[in-house]
């Protein structure tokens, strides 16, 4: 009879090798998931800022009143403000930023900034230049 004591099957070695090769990939994936879970609205915010800037470049007579931004766009008076945790452009219900707790607008050196908070994070975006 063959004595198998003290030997390792090649199958176990291959399994071990496969598992070890997958560990970095798994760790990377988990870290990506956790990062994405922390900032689920990140991409939406980038797109929203772009769309908002594109509208505001064609707008006239901006003014900030009561945490809302008023401006004239295509000869219509528009209002950008926070309603039900969404930053919305009215008239209509064009939603730009979602899951927002607080928001405020301010002007500095002819640039209008939007500052908003989501959870514990605060964001500031330059949205228009006049």
CA distances for 43 relative to 28, 96, 97, 105, 129, angstroms: 20, 12, 11, 21, 23
Should residue 76 be labelled a site residue for another protein when binding is judged by CB under 8 A?
Answer: no
Spatial distance between the Cα atoms of 10 and 14, rounded to a whole number of angstroms: 6
73 DSSP β-pair partners: 59, 76
Should residue 60 be labelled a site residue for another protein when binding is judged by CB under 8 A?
Answer: yes
Should residue 33 be labelled a site residue for another protein when binding is judged by CB under 8 A?
Answer: yes
Among 13, 46, 83, 122, binds another protein (CB under 8 A): 46
Among 13, 17, 58, 83, binds another protein (CB under 8 A): 58
Among 16, 26, 83, 122, binds another protein (CB under 8 A): 26
Dihedral angle, C-alpha 88, 93, 96, 98, nearest 10 °: 80
Q: Which residues bind another protein (CB under 8 A)?
A: 15, 18, 22, 25-26, 29, 32-33, 43, 46-47, 50, 53-54, 57-58, 60, 74-75, 129-130
């Amino acid at each position: 009879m063959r004595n198998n004591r003290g030997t390792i099957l090649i199958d176990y070695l291959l399994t071990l090798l496969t598992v070890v090769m997958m560990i970095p990939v798994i760790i990377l994936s988990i870290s990506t998931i956790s990062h994405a879970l922390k900032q689920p609205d990140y991409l939406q915010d980038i797109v929203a800022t772009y769309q908002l800037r594109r509208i505001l470049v064609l707008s006239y007579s901006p003014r900030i009143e009561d945490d809302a931004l008023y401006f004239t766009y295509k000869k219509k008076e528009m209002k950008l403000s926070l309603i039900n945790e969404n930053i919305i452009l009215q008239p209509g219900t064009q939603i730009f930023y979602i899951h927002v707790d607080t928001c405020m607008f301010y002007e500095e050196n002819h640039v209008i900034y939007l500052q908003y908070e989501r959870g514990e994070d605060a964001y500031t975006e330059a949205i228009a230049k006049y």
